[in-house]
Amino acid sequence: MRIAMLGAGAWGTALSIAFADRHAVSLWSREADVAVDLRETRENRRFFPGYRLPESVRIETVFAAALTDVDLVIVATPMAGLRPSVENLVAAGCRAPILWVCKGFEAGSGKLAHQVVADIVPAGQIYGALSGPSFAEEVAAGHPTAVSLAASDGAFARRVARELHGGNLRIYANDDLVGVEVGGAVKNVLAIATGVCDGLGLGLNTRAALITRGLAEIARLGVALGGQRETFMGLAGMGDLILTCTGDLSRNRRVGLGLAQDKALAQILDELGHVAEGVFTARETVRLAERLGIEMPISQAVAAMLDDGLSARDAVARLMARDPREELE
């Protein structure tokens, strides 16, 4: 299969490495200096140092050239880059199926990725999400990884999951695009909360409770949006949540660790040096939950820390002061 990878950040580079042994991959970079470095050294020293890109991966800076005769486009940008990337695809006349690896709600509109894409592409063009418990560094290193592929067309999802599946990357088809996207979006918010918990030294009991109750929040929102409850017990739900809340490579967890140290958000993000999607997703999650009448107290506490200056300790006190309720309500 001929794949155009749009975005030479961590994920674009990692997936290019993972797919290069079985597919023809062209990696498009918006930054000319990154492209030059990739061509000369086969290493993305600016965004993803330490991993060698196979010689078979073609590096492109001309958008149209990356799309020549492709069978599949994978958008590997942050959520903010999804809309302009797809708009450019449509303007270039590309009608190949589109997958994306970003996770979140669009800032301002509160839309999930598939809703953003559906706004832009012609009727009938196939699109979907690749999501699950995966750090780019471990995918590039060849560590065994399993993710979900959900799409607007179930037959396409099953076929492409089989074609992309291989080596140490296992890909499972899923017919619940909404559930897969909600799981991938909101887990980043819960990872910030878990980072706060760990940063305050509240212990493993607290972490386990936070992750479990966080999963309940994700499922409540996801079902209200049309997702299937079973999805949240799978790779794109529980799997991604556990990884992002406990893994040291999690950017969102590191945001929470910084908040626990009373650092300003601007300082945390500057030190991080990469996008932490949970920062933008938290406020959109809360707005959406309020509009739907969904209880999401942990997400609300995270949004209050990020946007309203609520201290980490006060956020914990607020959560612990909530009235008791039935667990499975």
For 149, 191, 245, 258, 259, the CA distances from 278, given in Å and listed in that order, are 21, 8, 12, 14, 13
Helix crossing, 297-307 with 277-292: angle to 10°?
A: 130
- Give the active site residues: 187
Residue 103 has which token pair? 């996770």
Q: How many residues does the chain have?
A: 329
The residues, any chain, with a CB within 8 Å of residue 311's CB and separated by 6 or more, are: 262, 305
Three-state secondary-structure class, residue 127: strand
Of all helices (H) and strands (E), which one includes residue 151? strand 145-151
Three-state secondary-structure class, residue 200: coil
Kindly give the pairing relationship between strand 127-131 and strand 145-151: antiparallel
Closest CA to 94 of 115, 120, 76, 112: 120
Cα separation, 24 vs 5, whole angstroms? 10
**Eight-class DSSP state of 323:** P
Cα separation, 304 vs 290, whole angstroms? 14
Strand partners, 275: none
Amino acid letter for position 62: V
Question: Residue 68 CA to chain centroid, in angstroms?
Answer: 27
